[in-house]
Amino acid sequence: MNKTLFASTIIAASFLIAPTQSFSMQSDVTTTTPTCKRGYIYSKKKKKCVRKYSEIIPDSDLKQQGWKLAYAGDFNAAIDLFKLVTNKADPETLNGLGYSHRKLGKLQDGIAYYKQALTINPNYLLAREYLGEGYVAAGRINLAELQLAQIKNRCGTTCKEYKILAKAIVSGNSDNW
């Protein structure tokens, strides 16, 4: 195993948490992937939790575990996993970094990651919703409304991203999910 990858996986292993109840908007992440105890990550290939450094972990598994940690409120651990993803231009990874930074109160960092994700994939509705929520948190309702309009243009007013962002704009609260 490459020394850099081995060192990175050892570092990331120290940030994994014990199983927690999750309340993810991405139900496929929380319902199909168990959260593993500290030092382990779920391997789809082996269908069990494995030591973080015992195999090369695919980007998809790192992202899935990163989202699980983020939705469980362990934002720093989520950031550490998202940063291990090898494809640094992956919109889902950038969105995960944006979400985790925003939830830590680092709005500017979060917004920057969302914008990067949307530069790569302008149709990524979840990134648009989260960017809009970041603008709500920053008190920039006009910019949140622009994101809402973009979502409406792509999926109408009945998709969950539109409904959640519209509710956040009306309430002024970006933590309404």
Domains of the chain with bracketed CATH: 1-86 (no CATH), 88-177 (1.25.40.10)
Closest C-alpha among 58, 61, 19 to residue 38: 19
Structure tokens at 8: 């990175």
Q: Tell me the two tokens of residue 10.
A: 């050892």
- Model pTM greater than 0.75? no
Region of residue 173 (phi > 0: left; psi between -120 and 50: alpha; otherwise: beta): beta
pLDDT in tens, 47-88: 888 766 545 788 999 999 999 999 999 999 999 999 999 999
Q: Classify the C-alpha dihedral 13-1-100-126 as positive or negative.
A: negative
Q: How do the pLDDT tens digits run along the chain, 177 residues long?
A: 444 444 444 344 444 433 333 333 444 454 567 777 767 777 777 788 876 654 578 899 999 999 999 999 999 999 999 999 999 999 999 999 999 999 999 999 999 999 999 999 999 999 999 999 999 999 999 999 999 999 999 999 999 999 999 999 999 887 754
Q: Are 152 and 117 in contact (CB under 8 A)?
A: no
Contacts of 71 (CB under 8 A, 6+ apart): 22, 23, 24, 25, 26, 29, 30
* Whole-angstrom Cα Rg for the chain: 16
